[in-house]
C-alpha cells in the first residue's frame, strides 16, 4: 500500500513532502491490517474519490467533514454524501433543511452530492477511512497529515475559496487557511446533536454564493446535487 502515490496526479504537489514521513508508513501499516481483518468504509479504491473528481484549480468551496459514514454501503469518498439508493443520513437531512430555509431548495430524492463536486465543491473528510460501525476509529492514525496538507496547499496556491467549517473538529483547521486570500465560514455541525446551536440559520450557502459572485466566480447551484 502506497497512500501518497494513490493520490491523484493533480494533487501530488500537495503531498510529495509526506512520502518520507514515518507517520505515513505507520498509517499504511495500520490500514493494511484493518483491511485484512475488518470491513473498512469506503473501500480503498474510493478513499480519494473526492480528489479524483475535482482538481485544485477548480475548487470553489470546501466543505470539511470528519470521517466517513461507518454503516455498510454509505460512504463513497465524498463527505456528507451517500450513493443513490442509500437512506439520507441525519446530518445531510439537516443540511437540506438549512438549504430549504436559506434558499428555498427542496431536497432531492437521494443523498448523493456528486453534483456539488462537479461544480467545484470539495467534499473532504479529515480522515479518509473508518472501520465498520466504529465511528472515528481511523481518525487518529495519521490521515490528518494528508488532509491538512491538502487544505494548506489549497490555501497557498488558490484564491477566493469558501471554506465551510462546521463544528469544532473542522474549525480546528481554520489555522491552516489564509483568511486574507479566502473566505472562512464557521458554524455548529449539522448533526442532530448540534445543528440547533447555530447551523440552522447560518445561511452559509447563500453567503458562499455571494462571495463567489463578488470574486467573479460562478455560484454553486445547490439544488443540483
Catalytic residues: 67
Give the residue ranges of DSSP H helices in 39-113. 49-52, 90-103
3-state secondary structure of 24: helix
Gap between the Cα atoms of 175 and 191, Å rounded: 23
Query: Which helix (H) or strand (E) segment is 145 a member of?
Result: helix 143-157
Gap between the Cα atoms of 212 and 192, Å rounded: 29
Gap between the Cα atoms of 2 and 164, Å rounded: 30
Nearest 5°: CA angle at 113, between 128 and 162? Answer: 80
Amino acid at each position: 500500500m502506497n497512500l501518497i502515490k494513490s493520490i491523484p496526479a493533480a494533487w501530488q504537489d500537495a503531498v510529495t513532502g509526506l512520502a518520507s514521513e514515518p507517520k505515513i508508513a505507520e498509517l499504511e501499516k495500520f490500514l493494511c491490517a484493518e483491511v485484512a481483518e475488518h470491513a473498512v468504509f469506503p473501500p480503498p479504491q474510493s478513499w480519494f474519490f473526492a480528489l479524483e473528481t475535482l482538481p485544485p484549480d477548480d475548487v470553489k468551496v470546501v466543505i470539511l467533514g470528519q470521517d466517513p459514514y461507518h454503516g455498510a454501503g454509505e460512504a463513497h469518498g465524498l463527505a456528507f454524501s451517500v450513493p443513490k439508493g442509500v437512506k439520507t443520513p441525519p446530518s445531510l437531512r439537516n443540511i437540506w433543511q438549512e438549504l430549504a430555509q436559506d434558499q428555498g431548495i427542496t431536497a432531492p430524492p437521494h443523498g448523493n452530492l456528486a453534483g456539488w463536486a462537479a461544480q467545484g465543491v470539495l467534499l473532504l473528510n479529515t480522515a479518509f477511512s473508518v472501520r465498520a460501525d466504529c465511528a472515528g476509529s481511523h481518525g487518529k492514525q495519521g490521515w490528518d497529515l494528508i488532509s491538512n496538507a491538502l487544505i494548506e496547499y489549497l490555501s497557498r496556491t488558490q484564491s477566493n475559496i469558501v471554506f465551510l467549517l462546521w463544528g469544532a473538529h473542522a474549525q480546528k483547521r481554520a489555522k491552516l487557511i489564509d483568511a486574507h486570500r479566502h473566505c472562512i465560514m464557521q458554524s455548529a455541525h449539522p448533526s442532530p446533536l448540534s445543528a440547533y446551536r447555530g447551523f440552522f440559520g447560518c445561511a452559509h450557502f447563500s453567503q458562499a454564493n455571494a462571495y463567489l459572485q463578488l470574486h467573479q466566480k460562478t455560484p454553486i447551484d445547490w439544488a443540483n446535487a
